[in-house]
């Protein structure tokens, strides 16, 4: 994405804290605005908000459903498992669960759009780690002769990796970056 030997910004998936996060090392574009301003000049205070060196670090967190919505989705999925196949009740429950999952996907897409627009506008150099997300989320179930270990934990990890939207963020960054930044 960036010519070899050029210093700048890296987007690296990280596991910082309880949420899904992306750690970013970035170099600001000279003269780029730093947040919303109201036209007033600010007095410089040493040591507050200054960039030390060429790289700026920030964590990006992809939001999901709120806690009550997550509880409702889990409850609906349990209800769906008990419902009789082909019944009207099952159809209604399945439709309600699908609406919540679609809302989660919409939140993730909206976050990726806003974040990629913000990053592409603020930084002059964008470097993204080439992660093999498909390989990272491969199943751990194994075979009948050699069953996998920690399969349930791996399934949970796969879900969180897919929910974090790394691939979508990289694709949108590629689309929105100026022509000189693209491959």
From residue 152, alpha-carbon distances to 118, 156, 182 in Å are 36, 6, 38
| Over residues 62-78, mean pLDDT | 94
- As a whole number of angstroms, the distance between CA 111 and CA 152 comes to 28
The token pair that represents 18 in the structure block: 């309880």
- Which SS3 state, helix, strand or coil, does residue 151 take? helix
**What pLDDT score does 40 carry?**
52
Please say if the pLDDT value at position 27 is more than 70. Answer: no
Least confident of 55-69, 75-89, 95-109, 158-172: 55-69
For residue 140, give every residue at least 6 positions away whose Cβ sits within 8 Å of its Cβ, in sequence order, or none.
148, 149, 150, 151, 154, 155
pTM of the complete model: 0.63
| Over residues 99-125, mean pLDDT | 91
**What pLDDT score does 62 carry?**
87
Please say if the pLDDT value at position 181 is more than 70. Answer: no
- Which SS3 state, helix, strand or coil, does residue 26 take? strand
**What pLDDT score does 124 carry?**
78
In this prediction, residue 113 has a pLDDT band, given cuts at 50, 70 and 90, of very high
**What pLDDT score does 89 carry?**
96
Please say if the pLDDT value at position 52 is more than 90. Answer: no
């Amino acid at each position: 994405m960036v010519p070899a030997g050029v210093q700048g910004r890296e987007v690296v998936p990280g596991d910082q804290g309880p949420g899904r996060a992306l750690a970013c090392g970035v170099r600001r574009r000279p003269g780029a605005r730093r947040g919303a301003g109201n036209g007033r000049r600010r007095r410089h205070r040493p040591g507050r908000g200054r960039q030390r060196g060429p790289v700026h670090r920030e964590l990006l967190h992809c939001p999901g459903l709120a806690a009550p919505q997550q509880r409702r989705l889990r409850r609906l999925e349990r209800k769906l498992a008990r419902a009789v196949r082909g019944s009207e009740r099952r159809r209604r429950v399945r439709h309600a669960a699908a609406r919540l999952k679609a809302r989660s996907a919409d939140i993730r897409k909206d976050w990726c759009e806003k974040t990629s627009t913000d990053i592409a506008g603020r930084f002059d150099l964008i470097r993204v780690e080439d992660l093999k997300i498909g390989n990272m989320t491969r199943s751990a179930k194994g075979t009948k002769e050699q069953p996998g270990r920690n399969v349930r934990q791996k399934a949970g990890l796969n879900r969180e990796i897919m929910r974090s939207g790394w691939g979508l963020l990289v694709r949108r960054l590629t689309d929105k970056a100026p022509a000189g930044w693209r491959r």
